[in-house]
Structure 1
Amino acid sequence: METKKIEFLETYLSLYIDHQTVMAEMDKPDSAYVILDVRNAPAQIKQDQIKGAIALPAKDLAQQLDTLDKDKTYVVYDWTAGTTLGKMALFILLSAGFKAFELSSALEGWKGMHLPTEPVAQ
């Protein structure tokens, strides 16, 4: 039984990427990572986003896959770790053959660590 728990946790944890890994790459001109803000809300509700993120709502992601670069690794995030939009977006990307992770602790954790954000373009 303990082996099954460990295997489950290994799989679960492999779906996430931590803030430090993303931060180390985000300012590099040749970064392998593209950060996607998959929140399904208008800009006036979102107000801010992770610096350099691309807004691509989870509800539109499946129809926009042909605009994405298969050579990049996508990092998706939602409002909080407990919401499901990030997980839905991750499922869509992985099912379509993209390399992708969900950001550990989502936007809430990013902001809680005082990492770079920017206003959402109105």
Structure 2
Amino acid sequence: MNSLDFFNARLEATISPMDYLRSSKDNPEKYFLMDVRNGPSEVRSLTIKGARVIPEHDLPHRLEDIPKDKEIIVYCWDVWCNTAAKAAKILLEKGYQVKELTGGIASWREMNFPVSACTEGDTDKDACGC
């Protein structure tokens, strides 16, 4: 693989927080944003506003919750985390169209983009997808 092929593949498989925010405002029905982070709920108490929370380890049992007619955007913790890549692989193997949000929730928060509080005990599960 040469450099051009690498960067084309990278751009095809990822979307930046700024590009996602802009594109989802222009076409909100196009995307299904998923927080796939694993770990205790207390460390996952913030999520990107509008994201559904489906931890990567639950993904094989929750495929019916994920629409096939939308582009799935997955994210995890940060650039060092590969949980979103693992989730993307599972979804791609099942025929979904998937991209990874670069930088995870850390990049999103660094840019002061909207987040929401989300706990597994929320009574309004539709608000955050817990």
TM-score range, shorter chain: 0.7 to 0.9
Q: Which residue of 2 aligns with 1:49?
A: 47
Out of 54, 67, 71, the residue aligned to residue 69 of structure 1 is 67
Structure-2 residue corresponding to 1:40? 38
**Preserved CA contact (<8 Å) 1:78 1:85:** yes
Q: TM-score, normalised by structure 2?
A: 0.83
Partner of 2:98: 100
1:31 aligns with 2:29: yes
Query: Are the equivalent residues in 2 in contact too, given 1:46–1:120 (CA < 8 A)?
Result: yes
**What percentage of residue pairs aligned between the two structures are identical?**
28
Equivalent pairs, count:
120
Q: Which residue of 1 aligns with 2:111?
A: 113
Shift of 1:19: 1.5
Do 1:22 and 1:33's aligned partners in 2 also have CA atoms closer than 8 Å?
no
For residue 17 of structure 1, what is the aligned residue in structure 2? 15
User: After the TM superposition, which of the residue ranges 111-120 and 39-48 deviates more from structure 2?
Assistant: 39-48
1:58 is the counterpart of 2:56: yes
After TM superposition, give the deviation of residue 27 of structure 1 in Å: 5.4
- Unaligned stretches of 5+ in structure 2? 122-130
Give the CA deviation at 1:91. 0.7
